[in-house]
Structure 1
Amino acid sequence: MNKETIIITGATGQLGQFVVKYLQDNNIDINIVATLRHKSFDNQTYIFDSSRVTWELMDLSDPISIENLIVKYKPKYFLNTAANAFVGESWSVPVQHIEINTLGVLYQLEAIRKHSPLTRYLNLGTSEEFGADVNNGNLQNESTLIDPKSPYACSKAAARYLVNIYRNSYNLYAVQPWCFNFESELRGEKYVTRKITKGVARIFHAIQNKESYKPIELGNLNSYRSWQFAGDVADAIWRMFNQDVFNPNYTSPKSYVISADSCHTVRDFINKALDAAGINDSCMFDSAITINQKFVRPHDVTYLNGDASAIIKDLGWARQYSFYELVQRMVEYDIKNYKKELTF
């Protein structure tokens, strides 16, 4: 009997890598197919065994490449983590966000409907779809109103409605979790959390070497987020793919909120990062941080605080990392792997 297959878009990104690692570490007997927009001949380092992965070319803006891959593998699972996912840039390139994050999902769903209707499909959603602000202060769960505040959030919300329509119209196993911010040492360096931990590592080494340093430039320090470990999210995704296995009361596939159990401001994250580096004192914050208005969003979402009680109850999901343990992991990695920037 042929092995079942999972196709993963964005497998070289942060979450994609943790999903592949999760499958390999748990000895899940499955053929892992990872997609690339273009093949690189550079030696790249991953947190998983890349020799056990099949690499295929596919582009979310190219429906032919998507359809060909579905026809070739007829996968048991299709995980779409690839996206234009940097919120701040979405005001500058809004059409591209719709093309990749919304139309790309439509192309995938349509190919699955036509050629592989038994495929289980998961498109990664976002807490940004809720668009909540600090004035209401409520936890966000599966019943919270969708109210996007950015082109990125709009593209993901539109994709959610497509996922729902295809699930209800064609009886597909198609879900889109509301995934709150997930972080790790693999997080892209333009995202605020990694920008902070790399900046703290730079300042740590400058202090150790008795050198001057430039502060970290940030935007709104008072936005709240439910930051969680990307590896924990990988486990939640596998459970969502297999709800009939993990939920004894399963009737039909559901979309769930995946979130940490706490909520913190950017300011909190900075202080915990300075604590983790052992350089926090009464004056440190002001010398380490400066506000740059170019990093302030035109319409900021100020309060994303997730309630993941449903996935915990239904699918038995459990988090492995606390907020501080996550920050500490990232800071320690960046301190250990710090390389001084060369100036010419």
Structure 2
Amino acid sequence: MSKIALITGITGQDGAYLADLLIKKDYEIIGLVRSYSNGNIKGLSYLGIKDKVKIVECDLTDLSQVIATIKEYKPDEVYNLAAQSSVSLSFKQPIGTIQFNVVSVLNLLESIRMLDLNCKFYQASSSEVFGNAILPIKETTIINPISPYSISKAAAHWITKNYRESYGIFSCSGFLFNHESFLRSDNFFIKKIILQAIRIKNKQASTLEVGNIDIKRDFGWAPKYVEAMYLMLQQDVPDDYLICSNQSVSLRSIIEYVFEYLNIPLSCLVINMDLFRPTEIPDIYGDNTKAKQTLGWNYDLEFYDVLKILIDEELRNTK
């Protein structure tokens, strides 16, 4: 009998790749969207799986809807990927970001508790919760959020841990560092850089405007990162894990690589001070030893290899 996986945020990058992975493992997939009218299933269509996923409307901020949905489908595994996930947008919309990212997690876990459902719960956390920390980041690193987004994700993590320790629910958090793919939303840095660089190459734009690019981040390949989510829920004991590449690269070097690959002069790069964030982490990268040793997760990609994949895939899909 097939397992049932319920995925919130099914229309996002991770939701689509996770659904694809689980379908290949013979899961039945229930994908939650806030409303059918706003349900963007381009990612599912791109991967050729839109007809293999059951899309269900559910407002995660409405406890009664969440309870009814989980009661109806009785999932074996719940992957909570839904969130307002833009750091920069969270400074503009702090209340909405924190309310949704916290209440949605509470409602899902409380529904599982109230229904006494024997299912496993995965919470998508973020490396952003660690703020400016001693590197490399580890699972034991002190949480120190410095943005409304990271505050919301830190709270969601502690809620997940609390339900695990207080009620015995199999609930765990994955602290994922930046991970990219063709399905990444256009408002994220790597995707924006590549799309604008292609416009410059095609004479549709003349410059690329960026904020602070003298910072470093730990970037990875999204299809491999969702494998770690799945592996976390296959363990006998729930725990929290860092999912990362073990190294950081500067945003400036990424732009230079993309420009060189597309034969674009660096004179097209424009630094705009108005795009700098109120607070910024100068460098961050994690240690994925625990995920590799305990989960058996395998990751050895260099990010410049990932960049090449991303640029080539974007070029193939550019009309």
TM-score when normalising by structure 2:
0.94
Q: Which residue of 2 aligns with 1:141?
A: 138
1:187-226 equivalence runs, <5 A = 187-206=184-203, 213-226=205-218
Q: What SS does the aligned partner of 1:290 have?
A: strand
1:1-344 equivalence runs, <5 A = 3-24=2-23, 27-40=24-37, 44=42, 45-132=45-132, 136=134, 138-206=135-203, 213-244=205-236, 252-277=237-262, 279=263, 284-285=265-266, 287-319=267-299, 321-339=301-319
Contact 1:200 1:331 in 2 (8 A): no
Q: 1:218 corresponds to which letter in structure 2?
A: V
Q: What SS does the aligned partner of 2:54 have?
A: strand
Contact 1:74 1:115 in 2 (8 A): no
Taking structure 1 as reference, are residues 303 and 100 closer, same or farther at Cα in structure 2, changes over 3 Å only? Answer: same
Q: What displacement does 1:116 show? A: 4.0
> In structure 1, what is the Cα distance between the partners aligned to 2:269 and 2:65?
45
Contact 1:57 1:65 in 2 (8 A): no
Q: 2:307 corresponds to which letter in structure 1?
A: V
What are the superposed Cα offsets for residues 215-257 of structure 1, whole Å, 9 maximum, x if unpaired?
Answer: 111111012111001001111111011123xxxxxxx211100
Contact 1:102 1:155 in 2 (8 A): yes
> In structure 1, what is the Cα distance between the partners aligned to 2:257 and 2:164?
42
Q: What SS does the aligned partner of 2:22 have?
A: helix
> In structure 2, what is the Cα distance between the partners aligned to 1:317 and 1:151?
31
Q: What displacement does 1:262 show? A: 1.9
Q: What SS does the aligned partner of 1:182 have?
A: strand
> In structure 2, what is the Cα distance between the partners aligned to 1:269 and 1:96?
32
Q: RMSD of the TM alignment (CA)?
A: 1.7
Taking structure 1 as reference, are residues 335 and 304 closer, same or farther at Cα in structure 2, changes over 3 Å only? Answer: same
What are the superposed Cα offsets for residues 102-122 of structure 1, whole Å, 9 maximum, x if unpaired?
Answer: 111011110011114311001
Contact 1:75 1:116 in 2 (8 A): no
**Ranges in structure 1 where 5+ consecutive residues have no aligned partner:** 245-251, 340-344
Q: Which residue of 2 aligns with 1:342?
A: none
Q: What SS does the aligned partner of 2:11 have?
A: coil
Q: What SS does the aligned partner of 1:125 have?
A: strand
Q: What SS does the aligned partner of 2:83 have?
A: coil
Q: What displacement does 1:156 show? A: 0.3
Q: 1:227 corresponds to which letter in structure 2?
A: F
> In structure 2, what is the Cα distance between the partners aligned to 1:42 and 1:264?
31
**Percent identity between the aligned chains?**
30
> In structure 1, what is the Cα distance between the partners aligned to 2:278 and 2:197?
27
Q: Which residue of 2 aligns with 1:247?
A: none
Contact 1:71 1:116 in 2 (8 A): no
Q: 2:20 corresponds to which letter in structure 1?
A: K
Bigger Rg, structure 1 or 2: 1
TM-score when normalising by structure 1:
0.88
Contact 2:11 2:41 in 1 (8 A): no
